[in-house]
Chains A and B, each alone.
Chain A
Amino acid sequence: MILLKIFLGFRVMDIVVKAVVLGLIGTILCLVVQKGSPELALLLAISVGMLLTLYALGIISQVTEFIELIADESGLSSAIISPMLKTMGIGTLTKITSDICKDAGQSAIASAVEMVGAASAIYIALPLMKTVFQMIIDLL
């Protein structure tokens, strides 16, 4: 019921149509600009990606609210939920950035960015792993 209310109170279809049109127009404009100045085409691609990410974040904020609500109801502490959300943010950011770097032909920088993302995701999940490890030790 709560899920239904969240999705009905939100005009998702409008955002989807907007995002599709924005992506197509951005791609065409990139093709137009690319011949003249490839650098500005890259910046254009970055800004289109940024706008689309903002649209996605608007929807994701509703989903995270729901996740937090579930966590509250089931008595899970936020120490368990927050690493998951943080990892989601890290994954989103590093994936988009590394794809932009790959588009510009710099796959070395792209893989370095991905490595930083993976390392920090593991670091954020470390307290959870410690808890599990402690639990195992207590059991033995």
Chain B
Amino acid sequence: MDVDLIFKIAAVGILVAVLNLLLSRSGREEQALMTTIAGLVVVLVVIVQEIAQLFDIIKNLFGF
């Protein structure tokens, strides 16, 4: 968990944006939508673990 996470997510975002543009320009709107959703799911899977870790730390720290 570090700054790498931010760059990773930004890279996925730019990649998805470019793919989205290319696919929708070549007339394949459905596949563009699928690409967006796939990128979203990949980033969500990465983030959810980190958020769980954050919640654990908060629980320990504030004595819940």
Say which residue of A29, A40, A53, A64 sits within 8 Å of B39 (CB atoms): A40
Task: For the complex, count residues of B whose C-beta is within 8 A of A.
Answer: 31
Whether A47 contacts B50 by the Cβ 8 Å rule is yes
Majority DSSP secondary structure for residues of B touching A:
helix
Nearest-Cβ distance from residue A67 to partner chain B, whole angstroms: 11
Which A residues touch B43, using CB under 8 A? 40, 43
Which A residues touch B17, using CB under 8 A? 33, 35-37, 40
* Closest B residue, CB atoms, query A53: B54
Interface size class on chain A is 20 to 34
Say which residue of A29, A37, A53 sits within 8 Å of B16 (CB atoms): A37
| Bound: A26/B55 CA distance, A | 21
| Bound: A22/B12 CA distance, A | 18
Nearest-Cβ distance from residue B35 to partner chain A, whole angstroms: 9
A108 within 8 A of B: no
- Using known A-B contacts A39-B40, A43-B44, A57-B57, determine if residue A33 contacts B14 with beta carbons closer than 8 Å: yes
- Using known A-B contacts A57-B57, A86-B63, A93-B58, determine if residue A36 contacts B21 with beta carbons closer than 8 Å: yes
Whether B12 contacts A89 by the Cβ 8 Å rule is no
Which B residues touch A47, using CB under 8 A? 5-6, 9, 47, 50
A35-B17, A85-B61 are known; give 18 further A-B pairs, CB within 8 A.
A22-B3, A26-B6, A29-B6, A33-B13, A36-B13, A36-B14, A36-B16, A37-B17, A40-B13, A40-B40, A44-B9, A46-B47, A48-B6, A51-B2, A54-B54, A54-B57, A82-B63, A86-B64
Among all A-B residue pairs, the 4 with the closest Cβ atoms? A36-B17, A89-B62, A33-B13, A40-B13
A residues with a Cβ closer than 8 A to B are 22, 25-26, 29, 32-33, 35-37, 39-41, 43-44, 46-48, 50-51, 53-54, 57, 60-61, 64, 82, 85-86, 88-89, 92-93
